Structure formats: structure tokens, C-alpha cells
Amino acid sequence: MSARNATPAILITMPHSHYSEKARWALDWLSLPYREEPHVPLLHRVATTRNGGQSVPVLVHGNRRFVDSTDIVMHADAFCGGDLLYPRDATMRREVETLEERFDLELGPHTRRWAYAQLLSESRLLRQAMSRGVPWFEARLLSVLMPLVRNQIRARLRITSESAGRSLDRVRAIFREVDERLADGRRFLVGERFTAADLTFAALAAPVLFPAGCRAAYLALDEAPAAMREEVLRLRDTDAGRFALRLFLHERAGSPAAP
Ligand SMILES: N[C@@H](CCC(=O)N[C@@H](CS)C(=O)NCC(=O)O)C(=O)O
């Protein structure tokens, strides 16, 4: 048995989390064997704090713990031999890491805040997405915890209609930057092949694109409120939106289904 197969990893997630999708996509793309352990919001902290983290995703690999999606992707890339999602060339690698960090810090929080603002009133649909694949007792508990979960999300992410509007502006601005980058006809954000920069952009844009092929648990676009649907269609109809959808189609397809 190869070293790669000897130590199947555990990926602690929440089913609807786009940062979890980022890590999951990387593990799938690199064919690093893992078992996913999805949890509902709030109860995820039992699993993450036990492993030295807070948020999801957390990767437990042998006796090592990785408590941030970027650390997970970097570890997985290095473990699988390197020069896969991060180019060996130092200048290109720096460019990939800079974009990845920008998407992590800017795109991810703003797509999430805008999407939650549209969906917090859709309690039943939200609960369905949040409980996909979780242990049965967590799914049961979530029906009781749902009002608390919604309040906590609203408070922690400071969701108001004004902040959601500002987040949408920020998402559009990042999409315009990506449009400009792609304007010279390039197929990937850095260099000639798929990297962690592309993966991170597409995964963290997922809450505003509802991409086919995404393994995060989302409702179907036609179940979303009309105003959300219209905005998703507008964002899909941009070069950046089409780019992310293409990445899901060509770089994500064929990966094992999420639980
Ligand atoms: N910087 C972290 C951000 C992860 C993150 O924000 N995860 C959210 C879900 S998308 C989360 O776990 N929120 C609940 C919490 O922080 O306990 C990463 O890249 O892994």
C-alpha cells in the first residue's frame, strides 16, 4: 500500500460551506483519499475545537491537523508531490497565493453574506441544505436549533439589507477584476493550467452562481427567491461567472459525490 493510501484523511465540514467545498475540491482533484465528516452549524464546533480549530473545514491527516482551507490545499498539494495546484516556479506561485488570499479574504465573506441575506428567511430550505449527510441526531437537533442558528448567522456576519447590498457590490467588483484578467483570452488566472487561484475563485463564488457540479449542499436555483435568482443569472452572464462555471464543469466533474 502506498503512503498516499495508508493514511486516509478526515475532512470535517458543514455541508453548505463554500470554504469546505474549496478543500473538498482540492482533495478530490489531487485524488488524496479522505472521509468527509459533515456537521450542522453550532455542533460543528464540537468536532473542530477537538482538533484545535474553530471554523470548517478542518483536515485531520495522520497526526497532523489543518484548520484553514488554504493550509489544507497547500498540505494536500505538497503531500501529493507538489507542483500540482501551486506551480513550482516561485513567481507564479506567489501570484497564485496572492490571488488565493484575496479571494479568501474578500470574495468568500461577501458571497456568503449576500447569499445568507437572501436565504435566512427560507428556513426549511436552509435546514435541508445544512443537514445533508450529517449524523441523524444532528439533523434532528437542527430543527430545534434552527432559530438560534439563523440569529447567530445574522449577528456574526452582521447581516442587514444595507450590508448585503454592500457585499453584492464587492462581489461584482471582484468579478470585474477577474473579467479584466481574463480579457486577454487566457484560460486560467495564472499560467497555462488550473491552479489553487482558479479553484478558490470558483469555490468561493459558488454561493452566487449555484454551479452545476458543486458538491456543497445548495438548494436548486429555481427554489431560490426571485430576486436572488435574477442576480445569480446576471453574475453567471459575466466572463468571470462563465469562467467559474466552466471550471466546475471541467475541473470538478467526475469527482466522488459528497455525502
Ligand atoms: N479562513 C477560513 C474560513 C472558514 C470559514 O469561514 N468557515 C465558515 C463556514 S463557510 C465557518 O465555519 N463558520 C462557523 C464558525 O466559524 O464557527 C478557511 O479558509 O478555512
Q: What is the pLDDT of residues 101-120, one digit of tens each?
A: 999 999 999 999 999 999 99
pLDDT of residue 253: 72
For ligand 1, atom 12: residue with the closest CA: 55
CA of 55 to the centre of ligand 1 (A): 4
CA separation for the pair 137, 131 (Å, rounded)? 10
Q: Which residues of the chain have pLDDT under 70?
A: 1-7, 254-259
- SS3 string, 55-112, reads CCCEEEECCEEECCHHHHHHHHHHHCCCCCCCCCCHHHHHHHHHHHHHHHHHHHHHHH
CA of 57 to the centre of ligand 1 (A): 7
Q: Provide CATH 1.20.1050 ranges for the chain.
A: 90-251
For ligand 1, atom 14: residue with the closest CA: 55
Q: Is 140 helix (H, G, I), strand (E, B) or coil?
A: helix
Written as one letter, the residue type at 88 is R
For ligand 1, atom 10: residue with the closest CA: 17
Task: Tell me the best of 25, 44, 56 to mutate to test the pocket of ligand 1, counting ligand atoms within 8 Å of each CB and taking the most.
Answer: 56
Q: Which residues line ligand 1 (CB under 6 A)?
A: 14, 17-19, 45, 54-57, 68-70, 104
Q: Which atom of ligand 1 is nearest to the CA of 23?
A: 20
pLDDT of residue 254: 55
What value, to the nearest 5°, has the Cα angle with vertex 101 and ends 172 and 250? 70
CA of 226 to the centre of ligand 1 (A): 28
Q: Which atom of ligand 1 is nearest to the CA of 70?
A: 19
pLDDT of residue 258: 38
- CATH code, 7-79: 3.40.30.10
For ligand 1, atom 11: residue with the closest CA: 55
49 CA to centre of own chain: 20
CA separation for the pair 188, 194 (Å, rounded)? 6
CA of 256 to the centre of ligand 1 (A): 23
Q: Is 218 helix (H, G, I), strand (E, B) or coil?
A: coil
CA separation for the pair 203, 226 (Å, rounded)? 23
Q: Provide CATH 3.40.30.10 ranges for the chain.
A: 7-79
CA separation for the pair 246, 233 (Å, rounded)? 15
- SS3 string, 174-193, reads HHHHHHHHHCCCCCCCCCCC
| This model's pTM is above 0.75 | yes
CA separation for the pair 195, 87 (Å, rounded)? 8
The residue to which cell 497564485 is assigned: 96
CATH 1.20.1050 fits 90-251, yes or no: yes
User: Which residues are within 8 A (CB) of 113 and not within 5 positions of it... i.e. 6 or more apart?
Assistant: 157, 158, 159, 163, 164, 167
